[in-house]
Structure 1
């Protein structure tokens, strides 16, 4: 055999073997069937682990739900969804309660199809981050006590780089990031890393187009002002407590409040009583814990609002057969799967006071940035978001106007230069679970880069 033929064979073998490697990895992650799933599942699912740090043994768990086959998943963008906490699971909330195609019935054993799943518009990638959340883990136990914003963003970026190697069909595909609550930190920070590391790259693997966040922790100073104002104007706290909160909390950190601020917050919690602070006009779940540690628990069930869905998730994702089908808990963690980590929430490290500088950088870069807000959330309320956005000092393109769904006001919107703000009426902290149809319309408008419809006849 001549040299040229030899090198051709070697090169060809390398290509074939390399191709086989990622196909084998994908096949290992492919979900054949989840326990209790309905018979009409018409989309591919994959889940498993991606190592983000070899030295410490940090591995993050993901769940990909592609678009249905009749909606041509190959032509659809990829959307990464992140929940916050910090320390809460995107599988528990984003996938199983909000935007995912499969939601959990009250028996904690069976699933049903979400008619307003976002996978009808995009391929959905859910990530449990950082290590210690849900099924994600680290072989270095100190990682659970030293987590913070910076490492979370770096690990999420490392996850994406490695994940795209496993799923190269998504390389160069239009890519978006969305999330809610404390993901108001995760999403822009990860977006910034991607944007800055894409600079100068002609055809980046991560073809990042923009991000969207809802009821998002954004800027501590303005979030505090807006939150306390919301509590007071909605009759949830007394005049004296409102003044105390203004005096002791403003200017501090929401993740690391002062002792006096904590006292004032405790008084406010007592005055608010047994309500669901994430959705102030709906009943709370009787088994729920104190609101200080809860991060969005109240999904929309078929026909009626059910405030106890977190219980169903906890039951379902601890079933051994479910974990086996998801290729999860492969290290046999010493603790059960939980919707939110008990450890991470109490040991969070770095947490910048403001995301506004990142917003300014990414808006100037021309990325698509949308912010949305459910107006019945008292944890990160609409007033907090409006104060934070006002601090950006953006020019207004289209002033405040109502948008419609089937002849009814679905919320309001204002279009700024470089940013669109949308409210969803009657929605709590997790907009897609209280108003799934309106959230679906919101995503469609975002992906199409079209303003929310002013017409009474919009659908």
Structure 2
């Protein structure tokens, strides 16, 4: 299960010396921002605690900026390993790791957020944005829903939820994971395999069967054909990514749109160094496993994959007037750009939004960063954008991981309530 990232736009604050990171191994000594890390206990009885790493923004007046909780950044960033049993987050009650689900994750993340606000009350009344990638297509809307539910309680200080951003999100398993046409039009699979993926074992059936470890003979046959045609070195999260070869130099380049194939390995190696964990005030209980990406002892209720999030998003747009950004790295096979665009158009039609900005290129400096389209409606006498769909040229399944500069442009535009820039710097 993907870990949770909380990215926060904030200003200077006072923390205990135990939380302040004086330095990180390998990090330049003259950094101009402050860093903090610690655990937030979300359940005293069970001994559940979520680990976070917070980076303060370099800004003269960051308290005038919104707070962004990134599930799965820019400016101030608060990364949280969530749910428990992922990364450095843990529970002292072993049974907590069994049969965890989306509802429990949302409730736990709300507890975390409220307790974090208690620790840092100066940020309690800032505008809040929720964002994330991949399975955060579940985590973010579900957290947003419990935040709005919390706000409806009597005598509470409401959380100022202002918008959500979702990258390559799993929203509707019937639509989101269908990759047959995407792979076919990229020339990656044969007509025979395309037909198998459509008629014998489609993406939805494949994910549901394999998540329950009960693959049918049809899906086994399709998967064997996939392995044969795509090869062992093909990364379904990034069609452009080369294979990581031991000792090779960084091949990544945002100019070419190719990510660094060994970056994940280096991150895992770095975070598992004892001196790094000590500097981060992490793994203070001596966990019996290593920190890893999307891994841990937790056993998730995988039937939650089938939960349809589209009704929740529709309610945000129609009832709560919460703006949504859907962005998609166009080299992702897991949740292809074609499917997220289909969902965006379906949402716009369902909520009766009109097109405020026709599909066209947006720019990252001098280069085309991708293509975008904006939908909205007339409110209080002016057109308001409620739904933006944007592609990220060369982006992978985790866009901020492979395309940080483009991600920054998209997110800055979103929190400013404007479309991505449609002209280059020329």
Q: Smaller-chain TM-score range? A: 0.7 to 0.9
Asked if the contact 2:100–2:299 (Cα under 8 Å) also holds between the matched residues in 1, the reply is no
The answer to whether structure 1 residue 236 and structure 2 residue 184 are counterparts is no
More helix as a share of residues:
1
The answer to whether structure 1 residue 268 and structure 2 residue 223 are counterparts is no
Offset at residue 67 of structure 1 (A): 0.4
The answer to whether structure 1 residue 322 and structure 2 residue 276 are counterparts is yes
Asked if the contact 2:38–2:281 (Cα under 8 Å) also holds between the matched residues in 1, the reply is yes
Offset at residue 207 of structure 1 (A): 1.8
Distance in 2, Cα, partners of 1:179 & 1:371 = 10
The answer to whether structure 1 residue 245 and structure 2 residue 197 are counterparts is yes
Q: CA RMSD in A?
A: 2.6
Offset at residue 154 of structure 1 (A): 1.0
Offset at residue 333 of structure 1 (A): 0.7
1:416 corresponds in structure 2 to 375
The answer to whether structure 1 residue 72 and structure 2 residue 73 are counterparts is no
Asked if the contact 1:128–1:135 (Cα under 8 Å) also holds between the matched residues in 2, the reply is yes
Distance in 2, Cα, partners of 1:436 & 1:336 = 26
2:383 corresponds in structure 1 to none
- Any idea what SS the aligned residue of 1:55 has? coil
Asked if the contact 2:329–2:392 (Cα under 8 Å) also holds between the matched residues in 1, the reply is yes
Offset at residue 448 of structure 1 (A): 0.6
1:73-98, CA deviations, whole angstroms, 9 ceiling, x for partnerless residues? 22222211222xxxxxxxxxxxxxxx
1:387 corresponds in structure 2 to 342
1:159-174 aligned at under 5 Å gives the runs: 159-174=112-127
Aligned in 2, Cα 1:420/1:345: closer, same or farther, shift over 3 Å? Answer: farther
2:27 corresponds in structure 1 to 37
Asked if the contact 2:330–2:396 (Cα under 8 Å) also holds between the matched residues in 1, the reply is yes
Distance in 1, Cα, partners of 2:61 & 2:209 = 46
Where do 5+ consecutive residues of structure 1 fail to align? 1-22, 84-98, 100-117, 288-297
Distance in 2, Cα, partners of 1:241 & 1:345 = 32
- Any idea what SS the aligned residue of 1:351 has? helix
1:123-175, CA deviations, whole angstroms, 9 ceiling, x for partnerless residues? 22211101111100011222223122111111111111111111111101111
Distance in 1, Cα, partners of 2:253 & 2:154 = 42
Asked if the contact 1:67–1:76 (Cα under 8 Å) also holds between the matched residues in 2, the reply is no
1:176 corresponds in structure 2 to 129
2:239 corresponds in structure 1 to 280
Where do 5+ consecutive residues of structure 2 fail to align? 1-12, 377-385
Distance in 1, Cα, partners of 2:220 & 2:150 = 39
1:12-51 aligned at under 5 Å gives the runs: 26-51=16-41
Q: Number of residue pairs matched?
A: 388
TM-score scaled to structure 2, two decimals? 0.84
Offset at residue 201 of structure 1 (A): 6.3
Distance in 1, Cα, partners of 2:84 & 2:42 = 9
Asked if the contact 1:299–1:433 (Cα under 8 Å) also holds between the matched residues in 2, the reply is no
The answer to whether structure 1 residue 452 and structure 2 residue 411 are counterparts is no
